[in-house]
Amino acid sequence: MTKKERIVLFILASLNFTHILDFIIMMPLSNYLIPFFKITAFQFSLLVASYSISAFISGLVISLVIDRFDRKRSLLFAYVGFLIGTICCGFAYSFELLLAARILAGLFGGIIGAQVLAIVADLFSYQRRGRAMAAVMSAFAVASIIGVPISLYLTNLFNYDWHVPFILVGTLGVFFVPLIIKFLPSIKGHIVTRDKSESPFKALITVCIVPAQRTALIFACLLMMGHFLIIPFINPYIEYNKGFSKDLIPMIYLVGGIASLFAALYLGRVSDSIGKLPVFSWAVFLSLFMVLIITAMPTVHFSIVLIFFAIWFVLATGRAITAQAMISEVVKQEQRGSFMSINGSVQQLGSGIASLAAGAIVITDASGKIMRYNWVGYLSILVLIASLLLGRSIFKKLDKPAKGCFK
């Protein structure tokens, strides 16, 4: 990998870091926001889902035209809009204003992830894409290792003020904008190779009529649903049901993030060598047991809780890296930006549906305890099994290990 490629991957990973941190920090803030606004579990799930649903809508709409523009300019436009929405979250002092700010952030945030994945897919061959995807998607681990623990620590430090993480993300993101402008190359190869007279609806029509693309998107949606079903209520479950302090909870994300960071770098290489599908299949299968343990957790020492979550983080990372690499290969380069935008939108829809479903299932008692969380775990297991079966049927013939060829 060249120095220029490493710089590009660093920038993309940095954007992913702020983008992902803004999205995932909402869920660890559940045990701050629910008592602050005096809202129900379902109302909290609306705050989580509002970002996801608006990101789904914007990503779907933008997919109609995104391949007609330079990917660098599209990414810059989306990122600046996302930062405005995030900073607005940091100054929201009512449930309604926060909900509106989350919708605004989601409208632009829904474009970022798809463009990052499309850029990686354009710049790296399929045989090298596992490592490139791992580098970019390791931002999730870094957000967990650094972003979430620091954000929660600062929240606790500033009198449990939940506004702090959003102000932090917005401020940090401002410093990445000049890096996009200076170092990210202009990417227009997809414009040259496409037919300028074709309908902007072609990507959506293609998704509907091409079985591989259609089923790949269903697969992506199911995978995200299976993952995000249990996430929104992890923190209140650990605090109110298991009795651990707010001050200990950041350790879950620190330990889990460190584990998944190393796993991302290792599993990316392994998937390039032996194939993405075997790594994906084992990650999903083993994660079923961890979901069952986490959502019906026995009374154990907090160190054991950390081990449970570290394993779960690693397996979730293994699923995500391999799944995205395989999904990106079902479409030609000239349509990849549109398709990955639709893919990102569908994933946002999946996470939004998962959040709403979890909020509809669980209830909180007067003490704040989360009831029926194990039901959410059972549903997550069923959805993950469905994604595993569908994924194996789609990618069995497509997945090919590397044979030493590079772009």
Number of C-alpha atoms within 13 angstroms, CB side, residue 373?
A: 26
Q: Helices (DSSP H) in 275-372: which residue ranges?
A: 276-295, 302-327, 333-361
Structure-token match 């599908």, residue found? 277
Q: How confident is the model at residue 190 (pLDDT cuts 50, 70, 90)?
A: low
Q: What pLDDT was estimated at residue 314? A: 92
pLDDT for res 406: 35
Please return the burial class of 241, using the count of CB atoms within 10 Å of its CB with bins 0-12, 13-18 and 19+: middle
With helix as H, strand as E and coil as C, how does 65-127 read? CHHHCCHHHHHHHHHHHHHHHHHHHCCCCCHHHHHHHHHHHHHHHHHHHHHHHHHHHHHCCHH
- How confident is residue 404, by pLDDT bands cut at 50, 70 and 90? very low
Residue 120 scores a pLDDT above 90: no
Angstrom distance (rounded) from CA 35 to CA 117: 37
Q: Assess whether pLDDT exceeds 50 at residue 98.
A: yes
- For the residues 1-7, what does the mean pLDDT come to? 82
**What is d(CA 149, CA 139) in angstroms, rounded to the nearest whole number?**
14
Task: Check pLDDT > 90 for residue 130.
Answer: no
- Which range is least confidently modeled, 189-198, 309-318, 386-395? 189-198
- What pLDDT, on the 0 to 100 scale, is given for residue 193? 53
| Residue 178 CB burial class (10 angstroms; 0-12, 13-18, ≥19) | exposed
User: Residue 11 burial (CB < 10 Å; 0-12/13-18/19+)?
Assistant: buried
* Mean pLDDT, residues 191-196: 55
Q: If pLDDT is split at 50, 70 and 90, which confidence band does 90 have?
A: very high
Mean pLDDT (whole number) for 388-402: 79
What is the per-residue pLDDT across 364-386, written as a single tens digit (0 to 9) for each? Answer: 888 889 999 999 999 999 999 99
366 or 17: which carries more pLDDT confidence? 17
pLDDT of residue 198: 57
Average pLDDT across the chain, whole number: 86
Amino acid at 388: L
d(CA 144, CA 318): 15
Task: Provide the pLDDT for residue 201.
Answer: 66
Chain mean position to CA 374: 23
- The whole-number average pLDDT for the span 342-367 is 90
Which 3 state secondary structure label does DSSP give 371?
strand
Give percent of the chain above pLDDT 70.
91
Q: What's the rounded Cα separation, in Å, for the pair 102 and 88? A: 8
Q: Does domain 3-185+199-395 have CATH number 1.20.1250.20?
A: yes
pLDDT at 2: 81
The CA distance from 288 to 221, in Å, is 17
Q: Label residue 15 by pLDDT band (50, 70, 90).
A: very high
Is a pLDDT exceeding 50 seen at residue 216?
A: yes
Whose tokens are 């995000």? That residue is 228
Cβ count within 10 A of residue 96? 9
List all residues 6 or more positions away from 337 whose beta carbon is below 8 Å from its beta carbon. Answer: 66, 67, 71, 74, 114, 115, 118, 190
Helix (H) or strand (E) holding 363: strand 363-364
Q: Of the given ranges (8-12, 82-86, 325-329), which has the lowest mean pLDDT?
A: 325-329
Segment 219-257, tens digit of pLDDT? 999 999 999 999 999 999 999 999 999 889 889 988 988
Is the model's pLDDT at 23 over the cut of 50? yes
Provide mean pLDDT across the span 176-181. 91
Q: Where are the domains of the chain?
A: 3-185+199-395
Token pair, residue 275, equals 């194939």
pLDDT digits (tens, 9 = 90+) for 37-78: 999 999 999 999 999 999 888 878 876 777 777 888 889 999
CA distances to 116, 196, 256, 263, 265 from 313, rounded to whole Å, are 22, 43, 5, 9, 14
What's the pLDDT score for residue 407? Answer: 39
In this prediction, residue 239 carries a pLDDT of 93
Highest mean pLDDT among 176-190, 290-304, 393-407 belongs to: 290-304
* Phi, psi (deg, nearest 5) at residue 168: -60, -50
Share of the chain above pLDDT 90, in %: 49
Residue 239's nearest CA partner among 401, 2, 34 is 34
Q: Quote the tokens at residue 400.
A: 């090919």
